[in-house]
Structure 1
Amino acid sequence: MQKKFNKETFKEKLEANGQFPMLYMFKFIVPYGREHEVGAIFPKNEMTLKPSSGGKYVSTTIQVMVESADEVIEYYEKASTIEGVISL
């Protein structure tokens, strides 16, 4: 059973572990062929791609200058709409 995401707890952790604005690293694993959907969320940022050894998945890494914990959460919420996405 997957643990439910607690937005307030995550926000508190983000705010406790750094000062905003900050450079934040987003990492997602998506099914092969869906990496462009992650890129669409971050159109102004460079995305590093790494295919899985079996070729079914792609690991994506994007560094973004964010202004607040709320902005980080907004990006994760957008990414959660991608079918099969895993947020790291």
Structure 2
Amino acid sequence: MTDNHDTFEQVLDEHHQWPCPYAFKFIVPTENLPLLTALFDGQSLTMRESKGGKYTSVTLESTMCSGKSVMETYRKAAEIPGLLAL
């Protein structure tokens, strides 16, 4: 899986001029939402709870400095149980 991450990081660097805004989108079990919001402390998040309340979709735009910093954010988010990165 590291090869896929390296390839994605390379594509990010080829298609973005850093620093620039980067849009993150996640779906997370609502019970784990505090873990995700802590990752983006102080940033403006757009959240929408699923009809049943079990999941919450989260969108945010954050200024990132490199493809590596984007990938580090995804790696940290991936540690949250049940999180799906879109």
User: Shared fold (TM-score greater than 0.5)?
Assistant: yes
Distance in 1 (CA, whole Å) between partners of 2:55 and 2:15 is 30
Displacement of 1:40 in angstroms is 0.6
What is the match of residue 66 of structure 1? 64
Q: Secondary structure at the match of 2:31?
A: coil
Deviating above 4 A after TM superposition, structure 1's stretches of 4 or more consecutive aligned residues are none
| Structure 2 runs not aligned, ≥5 long | none
Higher helix share: 2
What is the match of residue 47 of structure 1? 45
What is the match of residue 54 of structure 2? 56
TM-score (norm 1): 0.89
Displacement of 1:54 in angstroms is 2.5
Can you list the C-alpha shifts for 1:16-50, whole angstroms capped at 9, x where unaligned?
22111010111110011211111111112111110
TM-score (norm 2): 0.91
The alignment's C-alpha RMSD in Å is 1.2
Identity %: 38
Match of 1:16 among 14, 27, 41: 14
Q: Give the residue type in structure 1 aligned to 2:7.
A: T
Displacement of 1:53 in angstroms is 2.0
Distance in 1 (CA, whole Å) between partners of 2:77 and 2:54 is 19
| 64-73 or 30-39, which deviates more | 30-39
| Structure 1 runs not aligned, ≥5 long | none
